[in-house]
Homo-oligomer: A and B are copies of this chain.
């Protein structure tokens, strides 16, 4: 069933030419007579030949493939960024290869895994690689590497980040404007830089309004729906529940929405909810979620731009910030009298 590999040599033999001629035809190099070209092309077609990426990449520096190393395919954030990277990469006529490292053992292992995967790709298969939400801060690699939303400080390769702090401030400003004073917070994993920045935005906003931080209103989630649901349940069961909840990402916010629904708390009448990310999902919730748009498309695009500049040998900025913007939908209103 599985045909034994057809190599360039087989093609050469069948066409009665040398391998180099076939190679020239394959790569559309000059210096091949039209007659020969035709014949070789035909044989390639007949034999259903396709060149071997491994061999090819070992000889060339260019492969026309960009790699992506993603922690796992579970989160909507990851997926949407991959999709935007995919679009940007294809626009440039490159292909995309994704390596997943879903098995999350420990944080240390995670970083090592990321590095290994980057090497695996960048040592020949790909012309450059983009790493999503990496734990590693350094990548020994022969080809350019760009990271998106790194989890730790001090990353030694170009990074694309969004304005997490400013975005959180904007969300809070909106809630204040509506009249909310008692605002709950559903945080993300404290080991993630983005989660920390959003938390700081929440905290500082309160402070500026002269509202003292109430620890009972802060719940530590984990960026998942389930986590958000649990936090929502806890916050809404308080003797004095918040009139608004700012969730550090949309998945958490969706969990809060569900908790509110299960507890019979109408949104936005009795509770306002704001998320962060603007994943496509958030436009489809009931009610549609007001959230901080992280321009996920923009992040993928920016990362690809940085990567190609880097591949072209140009010096690139160490950090590229993508602006956030509040998207107002229907999950917020003034506090219930």
Q: Which residues of A contact B (CB under 8 A)?
A: 2-5, 48, 50, 52-55, 57-58, 72-74, 79, 82-83, 86-87, 90, 95-100, 102-103, 116-117, 119-121, 123-125, 140-144, 225, 254, 258, 261, 281, 284-286
Q: A58-B58, A102-B86, A102-B90 are in contact. Are A3 and B142 (CB under 8 A)?
A: yes
Instruction: List the B side residues contacting A143 at CB < 8 Å.
Output: 2
Of all chain B residues, the one with the shortest Cβ separation from A117 is B95
Of all chain B residues, the one with the shortest Cβ separation from A157 is B1
Bound CA–CA A143/B96 (angstroms): 21
Contact partner of A53 among B3, B96, B125, CB < 8 A?
B125
Instruction: List the B side residues contacting A121 at CB < 8 Å.
Output: 53
B48 and A140 contacting across the interface, CB-CB below 8 Å:
yes
* Max chain B Cβ within 10 angstroms of own Cβ: one of A87, A120, A140: A120
Question: 9 closest Cβ contacts across the A-B interface?
Answer: A54-B124, A286-B286, A98-B98, A54-B54, A52-B123, A50-B119, A5-B142, A53-B120, A54-B58
Contact partner of A140 among B3, B83, B125, B261, CB < 8 A?
B3
Instruction: List the B side residues contacting A96 at CB < 8 Å.
Output: 99-100, 102
Of all chain B residues, the one with the shortest Cβ separation from A229 is B284
Instruction: List the B side residues contacting A286 at CB < 8 Å.
Output: 261, 285-286
Instruction: List the B side residues contacting A54 at CB < 8 Å.
Output: 53-55, 57-58, 123-125
Instruction: List the B side residues contacting A123 at CB < 8 Å.
Output: 5, 50, 52-54
Instruction: List the B side residues contacting A258 at CB < 8 Å.
Output: 284
Instruction: List the B side residues contacting A100 at CB < 8 Å.
Output: 86, 96, 98
Nearest-neighbour CB distance to chain B for A333, whole angstroms, equals: 18
Instruction: List the B side residues contacting A261 at CB < 8 Å.
Output: 286
Contact partner of A98 among B53, B97, B124, CB < 8 A?
B97
A55 and B53 contacting across the interface, CB-CB below 8 Å:
no
Contact partner of A87 among B52, B102, B285, CB < 8 A?
B102
B95 and A141 contacting across the interface, CB-CB below 8 Å:
no
Nearest-neighbour CB distance to chain B for A201, whole angstroms, equals: 27
Nearest-neighbour CB distance to chain B for A145, whole angstroms, equals: 8
Q: A50-B116, A120-B53 are in contact. Are A82 and B73 (CB under 8 A)?
A: yes
Bound CA–CA A29/B120 (angstroms): 22
Of all chain B residues, the one with the shortest Cβ separation from A74 is B83
